[in-house]
């Protein structure tokens, strides 16, 4: 395995960054996770657009052109011979003596890219069974629309979810509404077959998978309402699922230990999962 770090492809065991990298000290960094399918990046342009937006929101200088970054992604995938898997790109503000304000000029962003194969059969088995979700208070900051590596609340939530026998955590805001998953967007299907997912805002990540699924919904003329929903409404829903570059459209069959629908992945969810790549680019 090789890893891209600041212009070089290094053996996995030898790749590293400076001890005073701001990504380490302040989580002063952003990232992207992109699906790799048949050796190609899925929804590359949308991921690049979101990456550029995250950088701009944090005032991190874009280290190279979109075309150059895109080559780093493809080249990392190619050199690791990933056919089915994920590619991870992280950009930090750079390394500098520890001080809270942005370092003065002369500091270049750190760029890291890793690619990893994933067992497609394991993911399909997981999708056939569906996953369990546990809900917890949303303890994150007020700008969850920026894809930063400041992921400690998600780490703790996933750990707690795991202890409760669940594979994903759903964050719930102070008013009792689901914001999103710890690493996914949350969806339900109501009794009429209408899809419901929270509208975009500062409290959730604008998922690329979410965006592409919206295209599929309009193509298949499936009704959608973008609005917040409560945990009780989700538990009473006909179907539920989450979307992410990692799980794609992943059925949810239990929320807080209660079965959703008949406790199996819903028909609409399964259809959306199997048709997803028809609209993804």
> Which range of residues in 4-12, 14-22, 120-128, 178-186 is near ligand PDD by CB under 6 A?
178-186
Question: Total residues contacting ligand PDD (rule CB under 6 A)?
Answer: 14
- Ramachandran area for residue 257 (φ above 0: left; ψ -120 to 50: alpha; else beta): left
CB of 166 to ligand PDD, least distance (A): 16
Do the Cβ atoms of 172 and 161 come closer than 8 Å?
no
> Which range of residues in 54-62, 129-137, 179-187, 272-280 is near ligand PDD by CB under 6 A?
179-187
8-state DSSP, 246: T
> Which range of residues in 118-126, 129-137, 203-211, 219-227 is near ligand PDD by CB under 6 A?
203-211
Q: Which is nearer to ligand PDD, 74 or 212 (CB)?
A: 212
Residue 205 to residue 184: CA distance in whole angstroms: 8
Contact pattern for ligand PDD over residues 97 through 136, marking x by CB under 6 A: ----------------------------------------
CB of 192 to ligand PDD, least distance (A): 26
The 10 Å CB-count burial string (b at 16+, else e) for 215-250 is: ebeeeeebeeeeebbebeebbbbbbbbbbbbbbbbb
Q: Which is nearer to ligand PDD, 21 or 203 (CB)?
A: 203
Does 207 help bind ligand PDD (rule: CB under 6 A)?
yes
Contact pattern for ligand PDD over residues 135 through 174, marking x by CB under 6 A: ----------------------------------------
- Of 83, 147, 158, 163, the active-site residue reads 147
Q: Which is nearer to ligand PDD, 10 or 214 (CB)?
A: 214
Do the Cβ atoms of 246 and 195 come closer than 8 Å?
no
Residue 15 to residue 12: CA distance in whole angstroms: 5
180 forms beta bridges with: 171
Binding to ligand PDD (CB under 6 A) within 215-254 occurs at 243-246
How many C-beta neighbours within 10 Å does residue 9 have? Answer: 15
Please give the helix or strand (H or E) that residue 183 lies within, else none: none
Residue 213 to residue 207: CA distance in whole angstroms: 10
Please give the helix or strand (H or E) that residue 226 lies within, else none: strand 224-226
Q: Is 147 a known active-site residue?
A: yes
What is the dihedral angle through the alpha carbons of 174, 100, 158, 260, rounded to the nearest 10 degrees? 40
Task: Spell out where 27-102 has E strands.
Answer: 29-37, 40-41, 85-92
Q: What angle (nearest 5°) sits at the alpha carbon of residue 58, between those of residues 100 and 21?
A: 50
Among 198, 210, 254, 270, binds ligand PDD (CB under 6 A): 210
CB of 85 to ligand PDD, least distance (A): 12
Among 208, 234, 237, 253, binds ligand PDD (CB under 6 A): 208
CB of 96 to ligand PDD, least distance (A): 26
Contact pattern for ligand PDD over residues 183 through 202, marking x by CB under 6 A: xxx-----------------
Q: Which residues are catalytic?
A: 147
Give the interface with ligand PDD as residue ranges (CB under 6 A).
Answer: 33, 180, 183-185, 205, 207-210, 243-246
């Amino acid at each position: 395995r090789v890893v891209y770090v600041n212009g070089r492809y290094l053996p996995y065991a030898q790749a590293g960054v400076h001890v005073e990298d701001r990504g380490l000290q302040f989580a002063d960094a952003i990232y992207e996770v992109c699906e790799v399918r048949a050796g190609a990046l899925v929804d590359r342009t949308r991921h690049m657009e979101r990456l550029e937006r995250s950088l701009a929101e944090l005032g991190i200088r874009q280290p190279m052109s979109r075309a150059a970054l895109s080559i780093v992604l493809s080249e990392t995938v190619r050199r690791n011979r990933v056919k089915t898997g994920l590619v991870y790109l992280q950009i930090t503000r750079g390394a500098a003596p520890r001080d809270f304000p942005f370092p003065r000029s002369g500091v270049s962003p750190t760029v890291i890219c890793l690619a990893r194969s994933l067992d497609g059969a394991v993911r399909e088995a997981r999708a056939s069974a569906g996953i369990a979700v546990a809900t917890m208070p949303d303890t994150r900051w007020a700008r969850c629309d920026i894809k930063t590596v400041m992921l400690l609340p998600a780490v703790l939530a996933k750990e707690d979810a795991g202890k409760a026998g669940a594979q994903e955590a759903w964050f719930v805001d102070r008013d009792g509404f689901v914001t999103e998953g710890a690493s996914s967007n949350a969806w339900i299907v109501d009794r009429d077959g209408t899809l419901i997912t929270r509208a975009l805002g500062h409290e959730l990540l604008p998922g690329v998978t979410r965006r592409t699924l919206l295209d599929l919904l309009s193509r298949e003329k499936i009704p959608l309402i973008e609005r917040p929903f409560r945990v009780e409404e989700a538990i009473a829903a006909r179907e539920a699922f989450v979307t992410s570059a990692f799980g794609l459209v992943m059925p949810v069959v239990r929320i807080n230990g209660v079965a959703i629908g008949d406790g199996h992945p819903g028909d609409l969810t399964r259809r959306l999962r199997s048709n997803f790549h028809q609209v993804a680019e």
